[in-house]
Structure 1
């Protein structure tokens, strides 16, 4: 049966996603950075309150995926902590400057994961050659690859996602970026069995006073008085689509 992974940037969203039927949660912080390693406090709470599998992302910063030695050392420490806390999976990735998979660094990081399930995140979408990357990640023993098909949205990248799904000899291909209850059927009908979504919407901040002269962000497009949270109705609707598709295929 297809699985639904929900990307969550706070514990409240993770609980909402779980209650809505999510099969797995990718736990991050830093939405405007594209997802970075969650805090120790968030990890503790996730392990305590979330019963579905939680896979924290290990990413020391936003931006590109070529990391310095100090950043790699940080990633190693984060992996050790995540494993020590008892999580069952992890999300990571590293690239060379030429856009290829950093095999050496990946081996060093994977050596610390032991029995953890490993997802290679959307660093894959920044690779120069997705098919070479697919083979390399299969050789490394990666369990799944999150990808938008190297396009701005997974809908735009669907042809490549389908081709990768047909060619994979190891990692499961998980489609993500812009997938919601309105278009999930397109991916299910295409045979994609792993779906990743943030399944959310912006909610107004509880702050009543807004200082128009000060911003805490360098991103001038960011409204600091809107908070992005998982929408339970979207999660439920997506899960229903998965159940319907699975039942139809089974009956057929």
Structure 2
């Protein structure tokens, strides 16, 4: 079965994705950082309100994936909370200084994740040797790898995605980064079974008063009075394309 995972940065977005037909949610905070660990409140709300599988990301900060001892300890604590709350899966990853999978730490994380499906996130796209990394992740028992094929967008990395997907048995290869309605079929055509998308649109703030010249972050050009939200119509349209693919496969 073809699977559509939607990246959501809040419960409202997750509910929209669910209602539009998404198969799974990757739950994150901090979109400008590329996704960080959700808050305790967001995790609790997801368990209470979302009925499709939700896989929270475990990422203590933005930037690279080579973590300090304190950051790694936070990751372990967050996994314990997610497991206690009953999430069926998590999204994580750790690299060493040389751009290889941090095997000692990943072994510890996998032990803590026993009983949950683990997605190794786009840290994979910063790995020195993707095929070696995939073999290592297979040995660890990782369920899937979220990757753009080591390119800025998954469409640009589609050649490597196809090669990795042919490396069976092993983790499911899930294409992510720039996966949208306009290119869904390209990924299906090379045999990928799982796609990851934000399926988003930019929406305006409901605020009438808008203070000019004040930014909440270091990027002063960011519009504080608009944000990206999941577009249910896009999710539904992407899922429709994938359902046609399911029928063809059957």
TM-score band w.r.t. shorter chain: over 0.9
Number of residue-to-residue matches in the alignment: 250
Q: Which residue in the other structure is 1:49 paired with? A: 49
Match of 2:212 in 1: 212
Task: Describe the superposition over 1:220-247 as per-residue Cα deviations: whole angstroms up to 9, x where unpaired.
Answer: 3422111110000000001100111111
Extract unaligned runs of 5+ from structure 1: none
1:125 equivalent to 2:129? Answer no
Deviation for aligned residue 1:178: 0.7
Distance 2:222 2:119 in 1: 29
Distance 1:168 1:144 in 2: 12
Report Cα offsets for 1:159-208 as digits up to 9, x if no partner. 00000001142100000111111110111111100100001111001122
Query: For the residues of structure 1 that align with 2:213 and 2:120, how far apart are their CA atoms?
Result: 41
Task: State the Cα distance separating 1:61 from its structure 2 match.
Answer: 0.5
Contact 1:134 1:168 in 2 (8 A): no
Residue 19, structure 1, aligned to residue 19, structure 2? yes
Which shows bigger deviation, 36-45 or 220-229?
220-229
Instruction: Say what the alpha-carbon RMSD is for the aligned residues.
Output: 0.8
* TM-score where L is the length of structure 2: 0.98
Which residue does the alignment assign to 2:66? Answer: 66
Question: Matches of 1:133 and 1:249 in 2, distance apart?
Answer: 29
Alignment of 1:21-36 (within 5 A): 21-36=21-36
Task: Could you tell me which runs of 5 or more consecutive residues in structure 2 were left unpaired when the two chains were aligned.
Answer: none
In the alignment, which residue of structure 1 is the partner of 2:101? 101
**CA offsets per residue over residues 207-228 of structure 1, 9 Å max, x none?**
2222222111112342211111
1:172 aligns with 2:145: no
Residue 109 of structure 1 and its aligned partner are, at CA, apart by: 1.1
Partner SS for 1:195: strand
